[in-house]
Structure 1
Amino acid sequence: MTEKFYLADTKPIDHDDTVDNGIEECLHIGSGKSFITFAGAGSGKTYSLKRALEFLKSKYSDDFSRQGKQIAVVTFTNNAANEIVDRIEQNPIFSVSTIHSFCWSAIAGFNEDIRKWYLEKIPTDLAEVEDLEKRGRAGKASEARKRTIVRLTEKLKWLAEPQSFIYDPNGVNSSPNALSHADVLKIFSNFLTTKPMMTEVIINKFPFIFIDESQDTNNDVVNSFFELQDAKSDKVVIGLFGDTMQRIFGGGEPELGKTKPSGWTTFNKEMNHRSARRIVGLGNQVRSEDDERKQYARDGAEEGFVRYFLLPHGLSGKDDVELKIRTIMAEVTGDTNWTDTQSKETAILLLEHKMAGRRLGFDELWDKFSKTDNKIKDRISEGKNTELNFFSHIIFPMAEASLKENRAELMSILRASKSPLLEATALDANKDDPLGLARAAQHAFRDVVSNEKVSFRLVLEVIAEHNLLRIPEKLQSFVAAFEENEAEIEPDQTGARVEVEAEPEERDDSEITAWAEALETDFFQIKNYKDYIDGNSIFRTHQGVKGNEFERVMVVMDDDEAGGFLFSYEQYFGVKELTPDSQKKRVAGEETGLDRTRRLFYVTSTRAKNSLAHVIYTSDVAKIKANLIAKKFARESEIIEV
């Protein structure tokens, strides 16, 4: 059987040099040559961006520094921004930021224009919700619509007077003047195309604008940049870098790979410098069902390994089975590191965070928060929840130091956390033994955490009882030392104690309920959660691994355990039929879960440098096997039924 479907052809390492040379030809003020660079997995996208920046620095550094101009590099995430900053030489002519930060910096201060934008937009939104409520039925959806109607009506009243606005990057500020991510992008897109003053400010400040991961960048923002270039092509050069096959977040421009605005130059990077021939070949075959872009492996690249392990749904002892699979991969590849759970060059990719929670042992904790809204879950999955970080970054290290009787480390944590027991007032009140209260509190704390099954609540109670740490406000109502509506006591400037009335805070009932249940679970789950969030485990999510690479990758596909609805590997591999709704969308040319799953499969399949294991839990092993072979995703010898 021909190998053309399975092994990618090879090209010399410098095959894509013509692309980088072509990009440099665009990088001249007044060139009128904005460009889109399509760069698949392992193609060296960041290298091309870095080379373009170095070229511009050598050409314009002195002039731009003198004129106060900069080169804007706009990324999709903070991690991507940090990676670019790490790769380029520090220079004031480079401005690296996320798309949200860039857009906010452009509209900040346009308070009256933002107010008018809302005054035009909210009545339309309000009319749509009121119409839905008239036609809808009673129930939770109706209650949500009614709350939205009240919120929009109150905001309209608030907007009757001039206001100033702030940006809330964390999405936790419910004040009417706080702009969300989504609104910042919408307002920027509108202003860039309708406010000549802002347009002039942008192009005068940034003659060159690079947008990384452009496939995930909000489509309204991308289209506003297209309009900007069309109107000001003699004053600004815009460069987009990305790969439409790696678009896995909502809101991106779906047509970016299929069409382009007139006057833009397109570059295609064809090399994959990362992976072995077999893995590049699989990526090409996946793309053959989509945009048909093809990559080459480097001359001299190894053949590499791809294996598929097919297992029935509902299988018990998955941890043992997956360990056995890694052992088989070690035997197949001759690479014993497959069984090393501490290896930084091995990744096990899971579809949902809760799958990692079960495998790592923080599933009870995660389950309690799984019923909250996506904003809260996202912050927990990103390690950005203030209350959970209180446990993972302060209390857990304290517990470790206490159990090891490392008093120096304990004191260091207490000082860094500004423990009330180390404040001057507390020390002065116990002059005979200033640290007596702190020692007593530490002993009580150690007694509690010595129980490996202690709950979060009991740990919190002992900290509150002994005033060991300042407890975040949302957690205060869960411990006996705090009463929900009691007056708070604070020292005044003279050191006396005075009563001040607590200000009420609007709380999310679902989050409060989740915390009430989560506090009853085992405290030491927090270690496993922290390891996962800090990237100190081999488990990662399918979506979160984009942009990373590893020597060896195992992808676990289990629709039943994931319980999601955005992706379906059972549909993608032909076990389940498309739903009627998805069939309608497909006929209409709209995106379906099948399209999203194909892109996700491409992303996960192209993270490995040398060996790749796909573990597929399915309701029909025989059908999966037949379809893998029919799609040329697998040779028959690469499929193993466990």
Structure 2
Amino acid sequence: MSEEFYLAETKPVDYDCSVDIGIQDCLSIASGKSFITFAGAGSGKTYSLKEALDYLKERYSSDFIRQGKQISVVTFTNNAADEIKDRIEQNIIFSVSTIHSFCWSAISGFDQDIRKWYLETIPNDIAKIQDEENRGRAGKASDARKRTISRLIEKLEWLSEPRSFIYDPNGVNSSENSLSHSDVLKIFSNFLTTKPMMGEVIVNKFPFIFIDESQDTNKEVINAFFELKNAKYDKVVVGLFGDTMQRIFGGGEPDLGKTKPNDWVVFDKKMNHRSARRIVGLGNQIRNEDDKRSQYARHGAVEGFVRYFLLPLGIENKNEVETSIREAMANITKDVDWADTQSKETAILLLEHKMAGRRLGFDDMWDKLSKSDKIKDRISEGENNELNFFSKIVFPLAEASLNDRRSELMSILRESKSPLLDASVLESNREDPLELARMAEHEFRNVVSSKNVSFRSVLEILSEHKLLKIPEKLQAFVSNFEESGDELESGQAIHEAEEDRVVADNSEFTAWSEALETEFFQIRNYKEYIDEDSIFRTHQGVKGNEFERVMVIMDDNEAGGFLFSYEQYFGVKELSKASQKKRDAGEETGLDRTRRLFYVTSTRAKTSLAHVIYTSDMKKVKKYLIDKKFAREDEFIEISNLNSISE
């Protein structure tokens, strides 16, 4: 059988050097050249960005410092910003920020313009929703539309007077004058295209603007930068770095790789420096149905391994089966680290965080908290303040107490500003200033000594002895919490939590009320997962990462999502009428999103890759994978053979 579709062709390691030279040719203020660099998996996108920054630093550093100018690097996430900061030498001419922070810094202080934008935008939003309501039916959707209309009318009334606006990048501040993430992007895009002075200010401050992960950057923002370049073509160079096949998040420009301004230079990095030939070949076949871009493996790259394990839906002993699969991969590849659950070079990719919860043992807590969409979104990113209170303060405190690590324990209490270490408390107990702290820690240790202790019991003991400050949203759940000397009864607590402590909605209260009854020490497993100290990751969360060995678990039923469907992608389920209608109109469907996700997960591995597919029709999936030349016949491993393979 021909290997043409399965093993990527190889090229010398310096094959893409001309791209970096070409980019540098654009890096002159008066060049009039802006560019888009398409960089597939493992092609060294960040390396090219760093090379461009180093070139500019050497060429313009002295002038820019004297003139107060900077080179802006705009990223999609905080993690991406941190990675770039780690890669480049610290220099005041570099300004590295997320797209939201960049946009907010540009519009901050334009309060009356922001107010005017809302006053012009909200009536149009109300009219659109009212039209949907007039054509819709009664029910939950109708109730939601009516609530939205009421909320927008109230906002219009609030905007009848001059206002000032703020923005919290962490999304914690929900006050009326706080801008949402999406509104920051919309307002920036509008101002940049309608207020020439803003464009003038930006290009004077930032003659070079680089946008990383441009495929995920909001399309309105990207188009605003296109217009900025068109208006100030000889005063600014804009460089986009990304890969449309790795567009994961909604809101990105789907046509970025297909349409562009005529005078922009396009660079295409074709080398994959990361992966074995077989893995690069699979990536090429996957994107052959999309943009048809292909990559080369580097000279000397090993062949590598790709294996497929097809399993029926609803199988109960998933943990045992998946352990057997890793053992089988260890035998097939002669790589014992496949079986090492602590290996930092092994990743198991799951569709949803809750799948990790079931495998790691924090599913009870997760399921309860996920009932609130607002909480779910933030715990997925490890950014929920209340859960972080348990994971970053209470759990380390429990570990230090149970293991008698006194200095660590005191350090945690000091850093978290324990009320028992307040100067007034220490002063009132001069003979033994730490007596109350020791007594409180002793009671705390007694409670956390039980492995089945609940979150609520831990919270109660912390509050009762004032060992730690209780986060505002959790105060309503503590029966003995005191404020201004008055004990809060349960009903009063709910009321005050909603009004004084700005609890967003009843779903948050209900979610926490149930989650606090679950076992506290689930927090250990959650912390391990969210800190990326386990081998589990999500499909979406590994974009940009690489591992020696990767196991991808595809299970639509367990994931329970609607944005992706591997059953549809592998031809087991037909597209819905609505999806087919979108497809016929050239619009994006779940099929397109799933294809891109399959590409991202398939190209994380350096040497060996295992696809574990739970499906309702194993024969159809196998036929699809062979027909598409994603798999060879000998790459399928039957479950019945797992034991003999792993022995």
**1:492 match:** none
CA distance in 1: counterparts of 2:280 and 2:349, whole angstroms: 18
Give aligned-pair identity as a percent. Answer: 76
In structure 2, do the counterparts of structure 1 residues 408 and 122 end up closer, same or farther at CA, with 3 Å as the change threshold?
same
**1:437 positional shift:** 1.4
Q: What is the one-letter code of the residue matched to 2:203?
A: I
Amino acid at match of 2:608: S
Shift of 1:370: 1.8
Q: What is aligned with 1:216? A: 216
Q: Name the residue aligned to 2:513.
A: 516
Q: Secondary structure at the match of 2:470?
A: coil
2:491 aligns with none
Give how far 1:215 is off.
0.3
TM-aligned CA distance change 1:485 to 1:325, over 3 Å? farther
Which residue of structure 2 lines up, in the alignment, with residue 114 of structure 1? 114
Residue of structure 1 in register with 2:397 after alignment: 398
CA apart distance, 1:484: 9.3
User: CA offset at residue 563 of structure 1?
Assistant: 0.5
Q: What does the per-residue CA deviation read over 1:50-74, in whole Å, with 9 as the maximum and x for residues that have no partner?
A: 0011111111111111111111100
C-alpha distance after superposition, 1:397-447 (max 9, x if no partner): 111111112222211211111111111222222333322211111111111
Q: What is the aligned partner in structure 2 of residue 426 from structure 1?
A: 425
Counterpart check, 1:479 vs 2:478: yes
**Deviation of residue 486 (structure 1)?**
7.9
CA distance in 1, matches of 2:149, 2:432: 60
Report what 1:360 is aligned to: 360
1:203–1:634 CA distance, 2 compared to 1 (3 A): same
SS at match of 2:637: strand
By how many angstroms is 1:592 displaced?
0.3
CA-to-partner distance for each residue in 1:218-266, whole Å, 9 max, x for gaps? 0000001111111111111110000000001000000011111110010
2:43–2:271: 8 Å Cα contact kept in structure 1? Answer: yes
Q: Aligned partners of 2:213 and 2:39: how far apart in 1?
A: 10
Does the C-alpha gap of structure 1 residues 128 and 432 become closer, same or farther in structure 2, counting only changes over 3 Å?
Answer: same
Root mean square deviation, CA, Å: 1.4
Q: 2:66 aligned with 1:48, yes or no?
A: no
Q: Write the letter of the residue equivalent to 2:549.
A: R
Contact 1:272 1:295 in 2 (8 A): yes
Kept after mapping to 2: 8 A contact 1:38/1:269: yes
User: Contact 1:477–1:483 at 8 Å: present in 2 too?
Assistant: no
| 8 Å contact from structure 1 (residues 43, 273) kept in 2 | yes
Is residue 2:571 matched to residue 1:606?
no
Q: Mean alpha-carbon deviation: is it higher for 516-525 or for 403-412?
A: 403-412
Give aligned pairs, total.
Answer: 629
How much does 1:471 deviate? Answer: 0.3
Q: Is the 8 A contact 2:568 2:575 kept in 1?
A: yes
Instruction: Return the match for 1:546 from 530, 543, 546.
Output: 543
When the two structures are superposed, what TM-score results if normalisation uses the length of structure 1?
Answer: 0.96
With over 3 angstroms needed to count, the CA separation of the structure-2 counterparts of 1:111 and 1:325, relative to structure 1, is same
Deviation at 1:127, TM superposition (A): 1.4
Which residue does 1:204 correspond to in 2? 204
1:371 positional shift? 1.7
Alpha-carbon shift at residue 381 of structure 1 (Å):
1.1
CA separation of 1:504/1:46 partners in 2, compared to 1, >3 Å: closer, same or farther? closer
* Alpha-carbon distance, 1:548 to partner: 0.2
Counterparts of 2:317 and 2:403, CA distance in 1: 34
Q: Is residue 571 from structure 1 mapped to residue 596 from structure 2 by the alignment?
A: no
Matches within 5 A, 1:488-503: 503=500
Task: Tell me, in whole angstroms, the C-alpha distance in 2 between the residues paired with 1:571 and 1:78.
Answer: 33
Q: Determine the C-alpha separation between the residues in 1 that align with 2:378 and 2:500.
A: 25
Higher mean C-alpha deviation, range 406-415 or range 396-405 = 406-415
Distance 1:210 1:435 in 2: 54
Residues in 2 aligned to 1:508 and 1:482: alpha-carbon distance in whole angstroms? 21
The reply to whether residue 413 of structure 1 matches residue 412 of structure 2 is yes
Q: Which stretch of structure 1 is more off in the superposition, 164-173 or 198-207?
A: 164-173
Q: How many angstroms apart in 2 are the aligned matches of 1:88 and 1:431?
A: 52
Question: What one-letter code is carried by the residue in structure 1 that aligns with 2:537?
Answer: R
**Contact 1:75 1:211 (C-alpha < 8 Å) held by counterparts:** yes
Determine the structure 1 residue equivalent to 2:532: 535
Partner of 1:449: 448
How far did 1:139 drift? Answer: 2.8
1:582 is aligned to 2:579:
yes
One-letter identity of the residue aligned with 2:504 = R
Distance 1:356 1:439 in 2: 37
Secondary structure of 1:109's counterpart equals coil
CA distance in 2, matches of 1:561, 1:504: 36
Aligned to 1:176, the other structure's residue is in SS state coil
Listed one character per residue, the Cα deviations across residues 508-546 of structure 1 (whole Å, up to 9, x for unaligned) are 211110000000000000000000010100000000000
Q: Which residue of 2 aligns with 1:495?
A: none
- How far has the Cα of 1:504 moved from its partner? 5.8
Look up the SS of the partner of 2:173 in the other structure.
coil
Distance 2:326 2:222 in 1: 42
Q: Distance in 1 between matches of 2:371 and 2:438?
A: 40
User: What is the distance in 2 between the residues matched to 1:480 and 1:29?
Assistant: 64
Please report the TM-score for the alignment, with normalisation by the length of structure 2: 0.95
1:92 corresponds to:
92
The 5 Å alignment of 1:375-386 reads 375-386=374-385
Gaps of 5+ in 2: 489-498, 640-647
Matched position secondary structure for 1:552: strand
